[in-house]
Amino acid sequence: MLSKEELKQPSILFVSKNKNKFIEASYILSSFNIKLEWAPYSKLEIQSSSLTDIASFAAKNAFESIKKPLIVEDDGLFIKVLKGFPGPFSSYVYSTIGLNGILKLMEGVDDRECFFESAVAFCDQNINKVFVGRVYGEISRVIKGSYGFGFDPIFIPKGENLTFAEMPLNYKCSISHRAVALRDFAKWFLKNFKYYL
Ligand code: ITT
C-alpha cells in the first residue's frame, strides 16, 4: 500500500544543471512550504534577447519530455555601459572570459551600474507562465567573497558594501533577483495550485 507521502501530489521539478540555483530556489520557496525536486538536466536555450522567452520556451520543451509540473529559470547579468552585455549570454561569458574578463572590460570605467535578472517559468499541462525578478547594483573593482556561485564575487547590490559572494545564502536570498521572481511565483502558485502540494 502507498504511504501518505507517496499518495501526495509530486513536488515541482527544478530543471537546471546548476545545483546552486536549485539550492537557492529551494531555500526561497521553503518559506512558502513549496517543495522543489532537482532535475539536473540542461535546458534547451533558444537565441533571444529576452530571458522571459528563453525560460518560457525551455520550460515548455522540458515539460514535453518530462511531463511533470516544472520550473526552469534563466538568469542574466546586464551591465549598463556594455549595453546590457552579457545579458542572455551570461552562461557562455562566465565559462569563457569569466569574472576576470568582465573586470577587464570594465577597467577604468566609473559607471559600474548593472542588474541581475531572473526569469522563472512554470509549466504544466495547462499553463506556461513566467515571473521576472531584478536586483540592481554595480560591478565591483575586484573579485571578493567565497559564498555563492557564478558572478556573485563581482556583484554588489545597491545599498550594500558587500558582494553577493560575501553574504551568507539567507541574506542573498532575501534580496536577490531569484527571490523577487520566486516570491511572485509562490504567491500565484499557492492561490491557484494547492493540489500539487
Ligand atoms: P541552467 O541553464 O542549467 O539552469 P546556468 O548556470 O547555465 O544553468 P543560467 O543560464 O540561468 O544558468 O545563468 C547564466 C549565468 O549566470 C551562469 O553563469 C550562472 O552561473 C550565472 N548566475 C545565475 N544566477 C546567479 C546568481 O544568483 N549569482 C551569480 N551568478 C548567477
pLDDT of residue 87: 98
| CATH number attached to the domain at 11-196 | 3.90.950.10
CA of 77, closest atom in ligand 1: 16
Q: Which H or E run includes 169?
A: helix 169-175
111 is catalytic: no
pLDDT of residue 6: 44
Q: Which H or E run includes 117?
A: strand 113-123
* Candidate of 14, 17, 18 to mutate for ligand 1, largest count of ligand atoms within 8 Å of Cβ: 18
pLDDT of residue 134: 98
Residue with cell 540555483: 21
DSSP SS3 for 151: coil
50's grid cell: 529576452
37's grid cell: 525536486
| DSSP 8-state secondary structure symbol assigned to residue 148 | S
Ligand 1 centroid from CA 153, angstroms: 13
User: Could you read off the pLDDT tens digit of each residue along the chain, which spans 197 residues?
Assistant: 444 444 454 589 999 999 999 999 999 999 999 999 999 999 999 999 999 999 999 999 999 999 999 999 999 999 999 999 999 999 999 999 999 999 999 999 999 999 999 999 999 999 999 999 999 999 999 999 999 999 999 999 999 999 999 999 999 999 999 999 999 999 999 999 876 66
- Structural domain boundaries in the chain: 11-196
181: left (phi over 0), alpha (psi -120 to 50) or beta: alpha
Global pTM? 0.94
Is 114 in contact with 155 (CB distance < 8 Å)? yes
Query: 116 has which bridge partners?
Result: 77, 135
101's grid cell: 574578463
C-alpha dihedral, 61 to 181 to 35 to 165, nearest 10°: 110
pLDDT of residue 14: 98
Any residues with Cβ below 6 Å from ligand 1, and which? 16-18, 21, 42-43, 73-75, 90-91, 94, 148-152, 164, 176, 178
